[in-house]
Amino acid sequence: MDTNTTAAAPPALPSFTDLSPAQPTQASPSGSQASSLQAESSMVGRFVAILTPLFAILAGGMAGWVAKKFPGVQLDSGQIVAFMVTAATAALTAGFKFLTGWQQHEQNVADGKSPAIKPAATRPPQP
């Protein structure tokens, strides 16, 4: 057997810092290094998520009021309820569609494919 051959050492396990995304860092105006990962801090999505059920209730109520008070319209109670449900469903669908697009926008910002509407505030580096 040849004694000059050496066994290959097993590869080292990656550390926690090696598992972070391989993103280049950018210098901030203060001269310190800041991560190029971006986050969205706009509150638009939260307001839409909270207010969509309220808008659906208001749309249904307004549809019922219009169906009863609009001159020349003769609807029975079943048709009025169907009109109210249709209006509420339309409001919920619009909110759902907006939130789906908003989540896609947040994913694109996180992936660096699009800029944030309102970038998250960066904290100064800790000494």
Per cent of the chain over pLDDT 90 is 33
Per-residue pLDDT tens digits for 71-116: 888 888 899 899 999 999 999 999 999 999 989 988 888 888 888 7
Q: Give domain limits for the chain.
A: 44-114
Classify the C-alpha dihedral 44-45-46-50 as positive or negative: positive
Please check the confidence at residue 117 and state whether its pLDDT lies above 70: yes
pTM of the model: 0.58
The string of pLDDT tens digits covering residues 43-70 is 888 899 999 999 999 999 999 999 888 8
Spatial contact of 90 and 60, defined as CB atoms under 8 Å apart? no
| Best CA proximity match to 40, nearest among 90, 89, 113, 98 | 113
pLDDT confidence of residue 90: 95
